[in-house]
Amino acid sequence: MSLIRKAFKRLHYPADVIAQCVRWYLAYSLSLRNLEEIMAERGVVVDHSTLHRWVIRRVPLLDKVFRQRKRTVGRRWRIDATYIKVKEQWKYLYRAVDTTGQTVDFLLTARRDAAAALRFFRKVIRHHGAPEGVTIDKSGASTAALATVNADKSEEEIITIRQCNFY
């Protein structure tokens, strides 16, 4: 039995109601109380705390299943970090894009330093495997993080690094 079916088995509410609520919460900018009101209009009485538990329990499972079904990514990546505003706070968005333009992965972090870059590289390699080569900007943090990643690898597994000022 699939992971998703096991997660939705033996519940008080029907699985399609739970899946719909989780989907709406993730897809649209709805609060849990807004979602509670929408479901009440449709005849389903559910508390916002129950909706929150559904989201907390189901999202990691859905993420795992979706990552398994995601297309494979290319073996050469472009990696950059940009500064964006999220809820009135400035954050760094690390992202990796393959040669076809498909987003490989991303990480939102408060700092742009070697530790954050290393965390991003380890995350993306854990989920998608190591690339043959990466193109990065002249950031010292990315260079140091890739040097740390390459230090653990043998000669044929080393990730080639290409640096440029602009993409």
Residue 13 and residue 80 in one domain: no
The predicted model gives 14-29 an average pLDDT of 87
Q: Are residues 13 and 42 in the same domain?
A: yes
Q: Judge whether residue 61 has pLDDT over 90.
A: no
- Could you list the residue range(s) of the whole structural domain that residue 99 is in? 76-163
Q: Are residues 22 and 7 in contact, defined by beta-carbon separation less than 8 angstroms?
A: no
In this structure, the answer to whether residues 135 and 81 fall within a common structural domain is: yes
Among the three residues 52, 69, 86, which one is the final residue of a domain in this structure?
69
Structurally, the chain folds into a number of domains equal to: 2
Same-domain status, 51 and 106? no
Nearest to 149 by CA among 157, 21, 85: 157
Across the chain, what does the average pLDDT equal? Answer: 86
Is a pLDDT exceeding 60 seen at residue 78? yes
In terms of domains, do 33 and 96 share one? no
pTM over 0.75: no
Last residue of a domain, one of 12, 35, 69: 69
Q: Which residues pair with 94 in a beta bridge?
A: 81, 107
Q: Are residues 91 and 117 in the same domain?
A: yes
What pLDDT is stored for residue 38 in this prediction?
95
Structure token digits, residue 29: 């900018």
